Structure 1
Amino acid sequence: MRLSDDAHGLRSAMKMCHWVQRGVGRDTLGLLAILILSAFFAAELPVAADDSVSIYRSAHVELYTDMDATRVKSQLQRIDRVLEFSQRYWQRPLVGRIRCYLVNDLATWRSFDFPEPTARRVLRRIGGGTNLERQSDGKGKSQAVVYATTEPGVLEHEVVHAYCFQTFGHGGPAWYREGMAELIGQRLDTDPGAPCRASTLQLLRQSSGYTLAQLTKHEGDFTAALKNSAGRHAQTQEKAAIRVSLDDDNTMALKVGIEPQTWSDDDHAALQAARIDYAYSWAACYFLSQHRSYRERFRCYGQHVMCGAKISLADAFGDATPQVEFEFAQFLNNIEAGYRVDLCHWQWHEKQPARPLEIGAARVVQVRSALGYQPAGVQVESGSQYRISA
């Protein structure tokens, strides 16, 4: 079901949230129970095109892989956890199976016939991607197909895309699509502290970056220019490799297998731009999904846009947008590994009147624990000195 495109503002977003929640209920809970209880794979299933590639099936995944059977179960469990959270978050069950091609060594797939002609190039030069196969008559269900290497984090990221594509037909705006894939792929919902790694921190600190308004107005595919660079170099250097994937500590990295001197200024710019875009997309989705005052609106916004309605992030937050921008900027300035957004938010709704403090006077303020920034009721003056004691 697609909602009308003329719904705008927070009221529309909240209506959307209620509609989505009413639309699932017991069916989703039952589906999640099946996910948890179902067997992950059957080792006796026949191999695929040759003896090096085997097929494994769970309730929601058909996995083609050359991995050792002892490692496959853990991979299917990881996929299952990603899908479980995705279904719970977007309140929409996955219909059918996602087809995944998980490649450990591309050389062992030499005689395998991938359904996507460019799959080998994607795996070799980018590291992973998700394709949506639609029925030619436009009437059948869409089939999401994942191509991923075994590099940490790639499979989980692409499975989020596959769930969205197969369930909703799209992944939403670029910043939302990539940010949520990073967020859920890393399973951040289990730990309220930001698991922000050194490479992501460095990108966020060294770049001028985006405001939320700038990020959410970003048009196009974050990696399009980078893929074009890979294609140009591949014409002259067969072993060229550019991978847009997650590095060993699960942060966004772009791994380059081309000699640096062969890169043009445009190639370097595309590389850096893609890294920054992914970092800020993750930061925005992490901040909004963890903030106590904003997470439900953000969730409703996501459910709204995934169902096809036209609404901007500013529409969803309305008059609170300047406050959201202020706190996001503060988050970017202060973020460290383990940073807790839920403990650093501002209590904007508390309207304690602020009054000047006379010289020599004191004011006692009761501060509640674990509730972030709270008003002190003191109107400070520029150039004056104040002492705070607890």
Structure 2
Amino acid sequence: MPMRHAVAARFVGLAVFAVILPGLLLPQSACGQQRTNSSRAGRTAAGPHIYKSTNFHVMTDLPREGAHELLERLETMHRLLVAYWGRRNPRPIEMYVVENLDHWPREVLRGMEQQGLESLRNGQGLTVTRVISQGNRFISKAVVYAVADRGMPQHEAVHAYCGHAFGASGPVWYAEGMAEVGQYWRENDKSVTASAYAIRYLRNSPARPLNEIVNSPLETTGDSWQNYTWRWALCHLLGYNENYTKRFKPLGLALLGGRRVNFWQVYGTQAQEIEFEYRLFLKDIEAGYRCDLCSWDWKTRFRNLAGSSSVSARIRANRGWQASRLRVRAGHTYRFTSTGSWMLSQDADELTADGDDQGRGRLTGILFEDYELSEPFELGADGTFTAPQDGNLYLRCDDAWGEIADNRGTISVNLILEKETAAAPPEPNSP
């Protein structure tokens, strides 16, 4: 819908941009409770009707119940967007959400933007945002065109919100990555809720280099669902991982505000750490995965053992790999003992570090060296292990990555160097 001339006259300069989304991911999103009203609430015919809530005016041919459920999802997502970015939506977002274009009268179709109509005919989504600006002042108007696939209206509504609130969506990687994050957002839920086929794609594909995601001149809005999936994965990691989340929101606000800042200026000093955690996230990702609970410990100091000295660590059942404080040497044998118990769900039986009969809940180790990990190895409640390589020892309660959030309890682990391996083996005699 075009701007009124009376509004445009107060500003100089006109910028027009369009955000285009091909048919991509279809998430299952939880709905908040937002009271809605409809100008034709009692009608259930196949043709389109207008449904309104506080922040959305939606014309759709969805059944009345489906339209109200969509508005509830949109309002829940909007509340999360405002809470995250801290800027309100100044006017309702207008949306066309189409289940079947054959149900739409020609006079309504003629009133649509040609680009929007074409995107609907192609089973896609489009957000057209017009911005009239002068310096730091702007007025914007966004109109969403989206097929009624479950996630697409929410994805496009994120673009529309950014257009209204900021007059921009940021560079492609951030704009599309955060729109994907937005469509998956659930209230009070930090877990991965992406579609099953997106998760399979990420787990089974070679990890794309970070710079290829955030700095590729070849990537554009609407390029491919695969590119959208990589952008989502990076934004989800940065948004929830405890090591990077504090910098991510200020970076996003700077990008939305048009400031001359980029990913590497903000995260360059953490490049190796992010690359490591990004690859680990892609390797272990599954529905329910929690980046915050699996954030890597980069601060704990590790030390070698000598003589009868020992190290102790408390390992929580509801976290990923945790620092033991022990640095091991290849070929040396270490003894470990443990006390305490943990549970694999709130109401499950208590387990020792030996876990259950299937090995779930068993204390497990892994070695970190030069940003690479060894294969994990089982430990249990007590025993010995011989280090296959040098490295820092990390420990965890063995459970599915998407199921650790409801675990309970802590195991205390004590580690000591076995006496017979305390001294390094003698050098062989020279011939």
Q: Report the secondary structure of 2:225's partner residue.
A: helix
What is the identity, as a one-letter code, of the residue corresponding to 2:297? Q
Tell me, yes or no, if structure 1 residue 99 matches structure 2 residue 85: no
Where is the helix percentage greater, Structure 1 or Structure 2? Answer: 1
**Retained in 1: the 8 A contact 2:166–2:257?**
yes
> Highest CA radius of gyration, 1 or 2?
2
**Retained in 1: the 8 A contact 2:130–2:141?**
yes
Provide the residue aligned with 2:147 in structure 1: 149
Distance 1:188 1:55, change over 3 A: closer
Q: Distance in 1 between matches of 2:94 and 2:337?
A: 60
Listed as ranges, the matches of 1:4-153 within 5 Å are 39-44=35-40, 52-111=47-106, 112=108, 113-134=110-131, 141-153=139-151
Provide the residue aligned with 1:365 in structure 2: 312
Distance 1:137 1:341, change over 3 A: closer
TM-score normalised over the length of structure 2: 0.63
Q: Report the secondary structure of 1:365's partner residue.
A: strand
Q: Any gaps of 5 or more consecutive residues in structure 1?
A: 1-35, 226-273
Per-residue Cα deviation, 1:161-216 (whole angstroms, up to 9, x for no partner): 11012221221121111111111111245323222443112211232232323311
TM-score normalised over the length of structure 1: 0.69
**Retained in 2: the 8 A contact 1:46–1:55?**
no
Q: Report the secondary structure of 2:271's partner residue.
A: helix
If asked which structure has higher relative contact order (CA below 8 Å, sep 6+), I would say 1
Q: Distance in 2 between matches of 1:345 and 1:277?
A: 24
Where is the strand percentage greater, Structure 1 or Structure 2? Answer: 2
Provide the residue aligned with 2:202 in structure 1: 204
Indicate which of 296, 304, 316 corresponds to 1:355.
304
Provide the residue aligned with 2:178 in structure 1: 180
Report the alpha carbon displacement of residue 276 of structure 1 after superposing the two structures with TM. 2.3
Q: Distance in 2 between matches of 1:209 and 1:89?
A: 28
Q: Distance in 2 between matches of 1:56 and 1:162?
A: 17
Per-residue Cα deviation, 1:48-82 (whole angstroms, up to 9, x for no partner): xx993322222222211122223322111111111
**Cα RMSD (Å) of the superposition?**
3.0
Provide the residue aligned with 2:247 in structure 1: 297
Distance 1:114 1:133, change over 3 A: farther
Report the alpha carbon displacement of residue 124 of structure 1 after superposing the two structures with TM. 2.0
**Retained in 2: the 8 A contact 1:174–1:218?**
no
Provide the residue aligned with 1:168 in structure 2: 166
Distance 1:151 1:323, change over 3 A: same
Q: Distance in 1 between matches of 2:134 and 2:269?
A: 45
Q: Distance in 2 between matches of 1:307 and 1:275?
A: 27
Distance 1:150 1:308, change over 3 A: same
Q: Distance in 2 between matches of 1:89 and 1:207?
A: 31
Report the alpha carbon displacement of residue 137 of structure 1 after superposing the two structures with TM. 10
Distance 1:180 1:140, change over 3 A: closer
Indicate which of 325, 330, 335 corresponds to 1:382.
330
Q: Report the secondary structure of 1:342's partner residue.
A: coil
Q: Distance in 1 between matches of 2:193 and 2:337?
A: 32
Per-residue Cα deviation, 1:234-293 (whole angstroms, up to 9, x for no partner): xxxxxxxxxxxxxxxxxxxxxxxxxxxxxxxxxxxxxxxx23211111111111111123
What is the count of residue pairs matched by the alignment? Answer: 302
What is the identity, as a one-letter code, of the residue corresponding to 1:167? A
Q: Distance in 2 between matches of 1:61 and 1:312?
A: 32
Distance 1:303 1:206, change over 3 A: same
What is the identity, as a one-letter code, of the residue corresponding to 1:42? S
Report the alpha carbon displacement of residue 133 of structure 1 after superposing the two structures with TM. 2.9
Listed as ranges, the matches of 1:191-270 within 5 Å are 191-222=189-220, 224=222
Report the alpha carbon displacement of residue 309 of structure 1 after superposing the two structures with TM. 1.0
Provide the residue aligned with 2:8 in structure 1: none
Q: Any gaps of 5 or more consecutive residues in structure 2?
A: 1-31, 339-431
